Structure formats: C-alpha cells, structure tokens
Copies of this chain bind each other. A is one copy, B any other.
Amino acid sequence: TNIFERRAEARNPFYRVVELTDTTVDPAVWGKNFPIHYDLYNNTVDMTRTRYGGSEAIPRQPTELDPRDVVAASRLVEDPRLREFWAGYAFAEDFREERGHAYMFIDQVFTERQQVVQQPGTCLHCHASVYTVYMKAGDGDLIAGFDRVNRMKYQDAAALAQHPVSCIDCHNPATMELRITRPGFMEGMRALKASQGVDGYDVNRDATRAEMRTYVCGQCHVEYYFKGPEKRLTYPWAKGLTVDSIMAYYDEVGFRDWTHAVSGAPTLKAQHPEFEMFSQGIHARSGVACADCHMPYLRVGAMKVSDHWVRSPMLNVNNACQTCHKQSEDELQARVSNIQDRTYEMRNIAIDATLDLTRAIGAAVRADSTNPRIAAARQYQRKAQFYTDFVEAENSMGFHADQESVRILGNAVNFARLGMATLYGARVPDRPALVPPPPQTVTPHPERGGGATRERR
C-alpha cells in the first residue's frame, strides 16, 4: 500500500460494512468490519513450542470418540509423576499443554476428562463464545442463563455453542470498548473487592481501561471450583488472590475436589491461576496489563493495531517486550529462561516432597488405619499439594511472579516436611512465627551534601 492509501487508512481506519449487534456471535461477521483483527485472531491455530510454553503439534489417529488429528503434547507423558500426584482424579487420565484459542472448544469437547466423569455445563463458561448462549438461555438475563446452563449436562450445553472465545466475548459491538461478559469473573471480583472494603463492585462500570486490558483475560485464566449441587462456577477470591488466602477460603468452606487415591487426603486441584499469580508480580505492580505482552501493538500499514494472535510472548519478543525493555531479544529470552529454570527446579523438588508424604501416609494407613497421626498428616498433604499444584498449573512457569512462585514452592516443601514429622511422631514445635519488623518510619535524611562534617567517634 503506497503513501496515498496509507494516508487514507489513517483517517477512517475501519469502514462499517456490516451492522454488529449484541447477538452477532460469528467472528467472521465482525471480521468484515475489522479484517486485520480477524486475520490475526485466526492465527491462534498455529502451534509452535517455546522452551516452557507454546504448544507442540502431536499428530493423532482420529477415533470415533475423538476426531482430532492433531493435539497438544501430554503433560502426563512429559512428567509421569503427575499421574500419581493426581491419582483418583480426571487430570490423571488426560492433561495436555494448552494451545491457541482457536482450539479451546474442540479440546474441551474431546478431552478424555469428559469420558471419565459426567461434566456439567459449567465447563463451557471458559471454552466457547457463551455470551449469546447465556443471554438466550436467560431470556436476556445473563446471570439466570449462566445458572441454567451450569445445571445442564455438558454435552447438552455444548450443543448450544458454535465458536471459541470471539469478538463479542470481549467487545461491545457498538463502541468496540472492552467489556466483561463472564459471570464467574463478575462475581469473583465482587467478592474480592468486598474483602477489600468495596461493596457492590460492578467491573463493567468501575474498572479503568488499563485494568480491563487485564480483566478480559482474567475471565478465564483463573483458579476455580464448582460450588454446590447447582455446580455454580465460583472463583475462590473472597479472602484475596494469594495462594494463602485461597487455601484459607477452601479450608473455611471445607471444600475438596477429590479424595486422593493413594493417601485418602482431602485434596484440591488448582487450575491455570495466571490472573492470581500475575497479580503478585512486579509487572502488575507497574501497571503492565496482560494485553501489553500477549496482544502488543503491531504496525499494519499506517496503523497500529492490537495483535489478536494471542500467544507466548517468547514468539513475539520484539513487540511484546522491547518497547519497554531495551535489551536484545536473546537477552530477554535468557532472562525469561533464567526465571523459569529456577521455578522448574523448585517445582520438581516440591512434587517429589509431596509424593514422599503421600506415599508415607498410604503406607501408614495400610499399616494401621486407626493411627491418630494420619488425619494431621493428610491436612499437611492437602496444603503441600495445593501450593505445589498452584505453580504447576500456572502457565508462565514462574515468569508472571518470579519470587512469589518460588516462595509458594518453598512453603509446599515445608508442609511436606511437617507432614512427615507428624507421621513419625517427631514433636512439631509450634514456634511463634517471627513478625516482620515495623515499616521504616524514619524519613530519609535530607541530603547532607558538602559541608556537614562530623568528628569521627
């Protein structure tokens, strides 16, 4: 496109070819008004590995139950310990690397986790373009629709959806402004804000644009559980976003995902807590949003657009990082690897530590199931396992919050240690935890600069 086209492009970037309404679910229709965004959005079919992220295309023999001819690599093959780690739960059957948004719907429909147990319609909340599905099911009442679909069998709910997450799930069709369409996130944020003393928080009304550039991703990249018989999708944020607050919440409501097959412990499954982990990192503290790194600006012709090919930033270092960091691509990739190697080392130690405790409890139960120490040891396994799983499930391998990720794993190893000590009857002395010192009250000294001499004592 030459200069004239560039100049023209600049003035009214997008012609309105079609009328977009609150029921236009098909992204291809939106693509008529925003062809560049639609093309980029379609690229999420691409599968390329990075060191710890991305996804590898694994060819597969289509079967009657699962017609997919390409899938992402299995995490259970990559680390066989995970089968024992989740013994007795669906994740021990089939758990794969995540891949592009284009696959989210078919990957959920055909995962073996659908065969081992009857999943509820709730799963659809994060795996398809469900805004229109909920609105229709609730006759225009999003929350009522959400509640109705949750209670359905997954297969029935899935029949109502056609597309993976698409434009209408993040954008207001009239103004293209970002908006939250997921009830799970709306209610999760309301509970979180209430715990911070802000009542009646409405994310679509109260969030700033910078926050929205993170919140649209937080709709799905979060820890969750299904609450009560109505299988209501709930984000466990009522006490805060740290793993410690989430653990306290689960203990308070007495929730378990399953009873561990090896140890009988009341165990929790953590799932992709990117939003929670990211919130503890230096980037979040500096106001950097998910979209800054995962949907950075891309120059196309005379315009800058947000790159809707959502993928690992390590496949897009130039645009994702180098606007803010002047180091070379190799150096930035080395920094990410450095952080991830440390997390990976501690993640492996924490899984070993938790499995050692799990096996020891199993042995103790077999030896004498009335042993009074078993109950306490199982509680330590519950904690060690959830803290370890919180980092294992998080998909940036520590990058989103490097020190926090390793602190969580250090605590997990300590819970495993205390569990073993309890099992062996070693007195676990409860020491009063040392309280951190008070904040620095002294205001820094005014510059002394030249002149202020002091005789040396």
Which of A's residues lie within 8 Å of B, judged by CB?
35-36, 39-40, 42-43, 45-46, 48-52, 69-70, 79, 102-103, 282, 285-286, 298, 300, 309, 314-319, 327, 329, 331, 333, 335, 337-346, 348-350, 352-353, 356, 360, 398, 402-407, 409-411, 413-414, 416-417, 420-421, 424, 426, 428-429, 431, 433-434, 436-440, 442, 444-445, 447-454, 456-457
Chain B residues with CB under 8 A of A316: 444-445
6 chain-A/chain-B pairs, Cβ below 8 angstroms? A39-B448, A39-B453, A315-B444, A339-B403, A398-B403, A403-B405
Copy number of this protein in the oligomer?
2
- What residues on B are CB-neighbors of A447 within 8 Å? 298, 319
Cβ-defined partner of A457 (8 Å) among B45, B344, B420, B424: B45
The residues of B that contact A102 with a CB separation of less than 8 Å are 456-457
**Cα A187 to Cα B352 with chains together (Å):** 40
B327 lies within 8 A of A440 (CB): no
Are B349 and A453 closer than 8 Å at their CB atoms?
no
Task: Please state if A51 and B438 are interface contacts (CB–CB under 8 Å).
Answer: yes
For A103, the chain B residues whose CB sits under 8 A away are: 457
Shortest CB distance A234–B (Å)? 28
In Å, the complex CA distance between A452 and B300 comes to 12
Residues of B within 8 A of A49 (CB): 440, 442
State A40–B448 Cα separation when bound (angstroms).
7
- How far, in Å, is A101 (CB) from chain B's closest CB? 11
A413 to B353 alpha-carbon distance, docked (Å): 10
Q: Kindly list chain B residues whose C-beta atoms are within 8 Å of the C-beta of A315.
A: 442, 444-445
Q: Is the CB of A452 within 8 A of B406?
A: no
B417 and A353 within 8 A (CB): yes
The residue in chain B whose Cβ has the minimal distance to the Cβ of A347 is B434
Chain B residues with Cβ below 8 Å from A436 are 51, 340-341, 344-345
Contact A420 B426 (CB under 8 A): yes
- The docked-state distance in angstroms from the alpha carbon of A453 to that of B308 is 13
**A138 CB to closest chain B CB, in angstroms?**
28
C-alpha gap A404/B341 in the complex (Å): 11
Beyond A50-B442, A339-B403, whether A36 also contacts B414 by CB under 8 A is: no
Q: Which residues of chain B are within 8 angstroms of A339 by Cβ–Cβ distance?
A: 403
CB <8 Å contact, A417 and B413: yes
CA distance A444 to B313 in the complex (A): 9
CB-CB under 8 A for A51 and B424, given A39-B450, A342-B404: no
Q: Is A36 a contact partner of B403 (Cβ separation < 8 A)? A: no
Contact A406 B410 (CB under 8 A): yes
Known contacts A79-B434, A327-B286, A424-B424; decide if A450 and B40 are in contact (CB<8 Å). yes
A338 to B342, CA, bound (A): 20
Please determine whether B450 and A36 come into contact, CB atoms closer than 8 angstroms: yes
Q: What are the residues of chain B within 8 A of A421 when measuring CB–CB?
A: 356, 420
Are A407 and B42 in contact, CB atoms less than 8 angstroms apart?
no
Q: Would you list the 10 A-B pairs with minimal beta carbon distance, nearest first?
A: A410-B410, A417-B417, A402-B403, A36-B450, A51-B440, A406-B406, A315-B444, A342-B407, A50-B440, A403-B403
Contact of A337 among B345, B398, B426, B439 (CB under 8 A): B439
A43 touches B454 (CB 8 A): yes
Q: Which residue of B lies closest to A333 (CB)?
A: B440
Whether A352 pairs with B431 at a CB distance below 8 angstroms is yes
State how many angstroms separate the Cβ of A433 from the closest Cβ of chain B.
7
Minimum CB distance partner of A338 in chain B: B285
Q: How far is the CA of A103 from the CA of B456 in the complex (A)?
A: 9
Partner of A353, one of B46, B360, B414: B414
A411 CB contact (under 8 Å) in B317, B335, B349, B404: B349
A396: min CB distance to chain B, Å = 13
Find the B residue at minimum CB distance from A35.
B450
Contacts of A348 in B (CB 8 A): 433-434
